[in-house]
Structure 1
């Protein structure tokens, strides 16, 4: 495994973990837009858990590559769903935010 792959994977895991933690801690800059997009409050913990599991899977993938690949695909699907949700809410200026989190995950998958 190259140093680049290691750094990008750890960055992707850290960003996904930070995003999950923001949902768990109900950070206003995360949960207010989710409420505005129409995401039911009952889903928030599960969505945070999905991101946390993806972050953990990326780290585990450093030791078992298939787990990392599956975690990356899951996170990419998650963030694709986030983009669709933002678009459906017609908050076009917010589209870059999920893409910002998806980019290092996609890069980690490509480098793996």
Structure 2
């Protein structure tokens, strides 16, 4: 089993995307507010998403060097976006933000997981 990423820059890329998302969520722009309101996520809990994304960023970066940490963080990010997608579908909020943001991040995190932790180069 591969416990450190073979392609280190892929988890770093995912971490950068999540960091951008976490920073944007501090004072969420309209499209993020609309998305969270659209799925019915309570405003008093929005801060938890910033914490979760920041912890994921930390895990992905630390996991470049510490065996198992990046793999666990990457799996957590995939699960996070699977839950987000399920929330969108259950709320019937499947507009542009669902297809671009939610599913886009789900696909990115899954590709990073597969390419970083299942392929071992020479």
Say whether the fold is shared (TM-score over 0.5): yes
The answer for the alignment partner of 1:107 in structure 2 is 111
Q: How many pairs were matched up?
A: 110
Equivalent residue for 2:40, pick from 15, 38, 41: 38
Higher relative contact order (CA 8 A, sep 6+): 2
Higher helix proportion (structure 1 or 2): 1
Task: Measure, in 1, the Cα distance between the counterparts of 2:78 and 2:20.
Answer: 16
* Residue 95 of structure 1: how far off its partner (Å): 2.7
Task: Measure, in 1, the Cα distance between the counterparts of 2:23 and 2:54.
Answer: 8
Q: TM-score, normalised by structure 2?
A: 0.80
Unaligned runs of 5+ in 2: 118-122
The answer for the alignment partner of 1:47 in structure 2 is 49
Unaligned runs of 5+ in 1: none
Q: TM-score, normalised by structure 1?
A: 0.87
Root-mean-square deviation over aligned CA pairs:
1.6
